[in-house]
Amino acid sequence: MRKKQRDERKKANRILAVFLVVALVGFMIVNLAVKDRESSALENRSLSQRPRITWQGITSGTFMERFETYESDQFVGRDAFREIYTFFRRVGGKHEENGVYLGKSRQLLEDISVPDPKLLSEDINGLNLYAQTYPDVTTHVLLVPDAADILSDRLPTFASVADQDSLFLDFRAQLDESIVWMDAAPVLRAHTDEKLYYLTDPHWTTQAAYDVFVETASDLGIEDPYVTEYESLCATYLFNGTLASTSGFHLGLKEQIDVMLPVNETAYVVTYVEEQEKTASLYSVEALDTRDKYALFFGGNYPLIEIDTASEDESVLLVVKDSFANCYLPFLIPHYGKIIVVDPRYYSGSINEVTDTYGVTETLFLYSGNTFFTDANLNGFLEAD
């Protein structure tokens, strides 16, 4: 009787030992066999590669460190293990990961960024100086509130974020009085029955951009924003945005990106100046085959874009912007003869140079609150040379 029990236990132990060895060796072999990946589309970053063995690397310990990050980046099934990890964090009541909140109704929300006071005051000085240097050019500022502000009721219970409304209010109060403030927040608040933000991405939807365009068009001096009719069309239903990839929440959630195409189109030509390319389309269809499907609009962000239009209007609009503008710009085409689009994160010239070169008659600064308050590149662009 006793002997039998002991035998059984021995057998169980043996099975366990074999299983352990198989698991260890198996993972090692699979890890060696599976080819390393250059980058992770899911995490939107490049992965570390196998470090080279050098004597110096070994004695200083950097080789071991690098090898460790290499192994953890290239470990087989990394994506699945990450998802299991966030799943357990969610089950365990964790509602925030890398500055992204897991909100109600499947909404992911980026934390509200608070500006660095020094950077912000430099930006304000730059903006005011620009408005004063060019009194004939009307300067407009359109800051788009972020999802955590407009959809704050979807934040997880007990989560608290900075009050973006008061950040905007403070900022606005310091702007030169000649600068026209375009107020997007009330428009968006009045439309919360629509889908204003993507669930898995920080950007506003095409619908939200359209709402803000038509309801603040008078600030831009546009008389009839309804002059062009648009039809809203689904361009993809397989979008999973960057909030999902940075947080690991809702990686399986697919959503829709719509484009609004004009029924009667105003002809235009888009010139990507530094890329030396011209096209007659605002949309880059190839982006739909990549993970970064929001790049459908203009193919992403570029230093300097010129849009020549067949609009009767002769004014030249300069748009200084971040990626939020990409789905908003199409609505401006019927209303300006020429639109110059600058993304100061990539453009190295100055605003005065652009304004003089193109004979700019109106300027629009269009940013999301979060990017505007954390941007460190606008300042260099605003500096007069």
Partner 1 sequence: MKNRSRNSYIAAVCIIAVVIIIAIVAVVRIRPHASSSLKAEADDTRVRLEAMADRDISSAQETIDQVQGPGEEETEVVHEGGGEIVFSLDGGMLPLEELREYNYKEIFSDCVVLGDSIAMGLDSYGILNSSEVFAVVGVYIGQVDASLTNAAAMNPKKAFFTYGVNDLNTYEYQLDWYRDDYTSLLKRAQELMPNTELYVALILPVTDYALSEQPNYARMDEYNEIIKEVCDELGVHWMDLSFTFLDEYYDDDGIHAYPEFYYGWLYYMAVGSGLIQEGESQ
Residues making contact with partner 1 (CB under 8 A): 5, 9, 12, 80, 83-84, 87-88, 233-238, 252-254, 256, 259, 261, 267-269, 271-285, 288, 296, 304, 306, 308-312, 314, 337, 349, 353, 356-359
Directed axis angle between helix 117-133 and helix 351-358, to 10°?
A: 30
**Rounded least distance, CB 22 to partner 1, Å:** 16
Smaller CB separation from partner 1, 141 or 209 = 209
**Rounded least distance, CB 234 to partner 1, Å:** 5
**Rounded least distance, CB 342 to partner 1, Å:** 13
Pairing label, strands 138-144, 180-183:
parallel
Given a contact cutoff of 8 angstroms between Cβ atoms, the answer to whether 181 and 214 are in contact is no
**Cβ neighbours of residue 109 closer than 8 Å, sequence gap 6 or more:** 100, 101, 103, 146, 147, 148, 151, 154, 155, 161, 243
Nearest to 142 by CA among 372, 313, 326, 340: 372
Smaller CB separation from partner 1, 31 or 284 = 284
| C-alpha span between 143 and 165 (Å, rounded) | 11
User: In terms of C-beta density within 10 A (0-12 exposed, 13-18 middle, 19 or more buried), how is residue 255 classed?
Assistant: buried
**Rounded least distance, CB 101 to partner 1, Å:** 20
**Rounded least distance, CB 265 to partner 1, Å:** 9
DSSP state of 378: H
| C-alpha span between 195 and 35 (Å, rounded) | 41
**Rounded least distance, CB 173 to partner 1, Å:** 37
Half-sphere CA count of 118, side-chain side, radius 13 A: 1
- DSSP letters along 309-335, please? E--S---EEEEEE-GGGGGTGGGGGGG
Smaller CB separation from partner 1, 297 or 367 = 297
Smaller CB separation from partner 1, 21 or 285 = 285
Enumerate helices (H) and strands (E) in the chain, giving the number of each: 13, 15
Amino acid (one-letter) located at 112:
I
**Rounded least distance, CB 187 to partner 1, Å:** 26
Smaller CB separation from partner 1, 67 or 272 = 272
**Rounded least distance, CB 121 to partner 1, Å:** 29
Smaller CB separation from partner 1, 115 or 299 = 299
| C-alpha span between 71 and 31 (Å, rounded) | 9
Q: Which residues pair with residue 261 across a beta bridge?
A: 231
Smaller CB separation from partner 1, 75 or 88 = 88
Map residue 255 onto helix, strand or coil.
strand
Smaller CB separation from partner 1, 1 or 173 = 1
